[in-house]
Structure 1
């Protein structure tokens, strides 16, 4: 039963990635593209966690945590650049 739920989650997260990729390419403005990139990173983290559950390995959880930290810092840097034109004041 758990394997079927994990497989269904893989399919649904994959569909969410396709929709985020569409928004990333066709976004009307830059803020939509930044949000789509952030959401795409969250979906990649979800796939890593699902793959870690499927293989019962803890290494994927650590990689997902590092990717979450980098994604947060990257999103903050992109938003700051969009608002002010520079990252470091």
Structure 2
């Protein structure tokens, strides 16, 4: 039963990733693209964790944590770049 739920959830999150990529490409301005990129890395983390649960392995959890940290830093850097024009002061 849990495997069916995991597969359905994987399909839904994959659809969310596809929609995020469309918004990332089509986005009318830079803040929309940054938000799409932010939600894209969150969905990537969800995909990795769900896949790890599906195959009963803890190997991928560290990569999910790494993506979370890098995504957070990247979002902050892009937002700061849009606000001030430079990342490092």
TM-score of the alignment, normalized to the shorter chain, above 0.5: yes
Partner of 1:75: 75
When normalised by structure 2's length, the TM-score is 0.97
Distance 1:73 1:23 in 2: 21
Unaligned runs of 5+ in 1: none
Give the secondary-structure state (helix, strand or coil) at the position aligned to 2:49. Answer: helix
Runs of 4+ in 1 over 2 A off after TM superposition: none
Distance 2:50 2:82 in 1: 33
The alpha carbon displacement at 1:79 in A equals: 0.5
Partner of 2:9: 9
Please give the per-residue CA displacement for 1:38-58, whole angstroms capped at 9, x wherever unaligned.
Answer: 111111100100111011111
Distance 2:51 2:17 in 1: 16
The alpha carbon displacement at 1:34 in A equals: 0.3
CA RMSD, 1 decimal: 0.6
Distance 1:18 1:54 in 2: 21
The alpha carbon displacement at 1:61 in A equals: 1.0
When normalised by structure 1's length, the TM-score is 0.97
Partner of 1:23: 23
